């Protein structure tokens, strides 16, 4: 009995040692295309947006500004304005967070392993600035079977009319 316990302890310790390089590297192998200091992000974002998008927080269910939005439009990164999701891929997952079955494009959202809270999950991040968006689960609807469970605090909703209108032209200089 003692020998089996000793073997279990040794194997667990060896397994944890294998994870040391991953934890000390911050766990990420992704490289941001848009980089700012924490001070710059804090000045640009609300405290809640900063906590969720830059510090990998989670907003409370049923409290985000767009969990129940049903109008056509686009969902963009609150940090860098990168297009992440289209409204026609959003569905009601019953979780209280905005959920989508696929990103706006194949390279809009990046994923990486998330071992926080002693469980394995897939974290979704903005492919441009690496803002934490939420997590991806394999229990979504057809056609993908995926559920991108996002934090509304990490998203900026742009209604279809605003998304389609051209940017205003600059006034001519005198």
Q: Residues 66, 77, 129, 149: which is the catalytic one?
A: 149
What pLDDT sits at residue 88?
Answer: 96
Residues 6+ apart with CB under 8 A from 57: 51, 132, 151, 153
Average pLDDT score, the chain: 82
Kindly report the three-state secondary structure assignment for every residue of 88-141. HHEECCCCCCCEECCCCCCCCEEEEEECHHHCCEEEEEECCCCCEEEEEECCCC
Residue pLDDT, tens place only, 40-57 = 999 999 999 999 999 999
Structure tokens, 111:
């994923």
Per-residue pLDDT band for 168 (boundaries 50, 70, 90) equals low
* Closest CA relative to residue 101, chosen from 68, 141, 69: 141
Rounded to two decimals, the pTM is 0.74
* pLDDT mean over 111-123: 78
- Number of structural domains (the chain) is 1
Sheet holding 90-91: strands in order across?
90-91, 99-100, 147-150, 132-137, 121-126, 109-114
pLDDT one-digit tens code per residue, 120-155? 789 999 999 999 999 999 999 999 999 999 999 999
SS3 63: coil
Question: Which DSSP letter does residue 51 get?
Answer: I
Structure tokens given for 1: 């009995």
Active site residue 77: no
Q: Is 2 inside a domain boundary?
A: no
Rounded mean pLDDT of 102-107? 95
CA 41 to CA 34: how far, in whole Å? 11
131 within some domain:
yes
Q: Cα 125–28–86 angle (5° rounding)?
A: 10
Q: What is the pLDDT of residues 13-36, one digit of tens each?
A: 444 444 433 333 344 456 668 899
| 109 within 8 A of 93, measured Cβ to Cβ | no
Per-residue model confidence as pLDDT tens digits over 78-92: 999 999 999 999 999
56 part of a folded domain: yes
Residue 24: what pLDDT?
34
Position 12 in a domain: no
Question: Does the residue 172 lie in any domain?
Answer: no
Task: Write down the pLDDT at residue 161.
Answer: 82
Q: Does residue 51 lie within any of the structural domains?
A: yes
Mean pLDDT of 96-100: 96
User: Is residue 6, in this structure, part of any structural domain at all?
Assistant: no
In the prediction, which pLDDT does 135 show?
93
Residue 174 has pLDDT above 80, yes or no: no
Domain hosting 46: range is 38-162
Mean pLDDT of 104-125: 85
CATH number at residue 81: 2.170.150.20
Contact 117, 60 (CB under 8 A): no
- Asked if residue 144 is part of any domain, the answer here is yes
């Amino acid at each position: 009995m003692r020998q089996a316990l000793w073997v279990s302890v040794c194997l667990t310790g060896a397994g944890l040692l294998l994870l040391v390089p991953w934890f000390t590297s911050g766990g990420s192998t992704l490289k941001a295309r848009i980089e700012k200091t924490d001070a710059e992000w804090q000045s640009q974002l609300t405290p809640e947006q900063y906590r969720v998008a830059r510090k990998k927080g989670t907003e409370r269910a049923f409290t985000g500004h767009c969990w129940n939005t049903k109008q056509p439009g686009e969902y963009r990164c609150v940090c860098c304005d990168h297009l992440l999701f289209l409204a026609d891929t959003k569905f009601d997952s019953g979780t209280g967070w905005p959920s989508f079955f696929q990103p706006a494009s194949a390279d809009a959202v990046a994923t990486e392993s998330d071992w926080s809270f002693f469980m394995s999950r897939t974290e979704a991040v903005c492919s441009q600035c690496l803002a934490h968006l939420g997590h991806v689960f394999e229990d979504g609807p057809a056609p993908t079977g995926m559920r991108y469970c996002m934090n509304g605090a990490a998203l900026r909703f742009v209604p279809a009319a605003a998304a389609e209108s051209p940017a205003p032209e600059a006034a001519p200089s005198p």
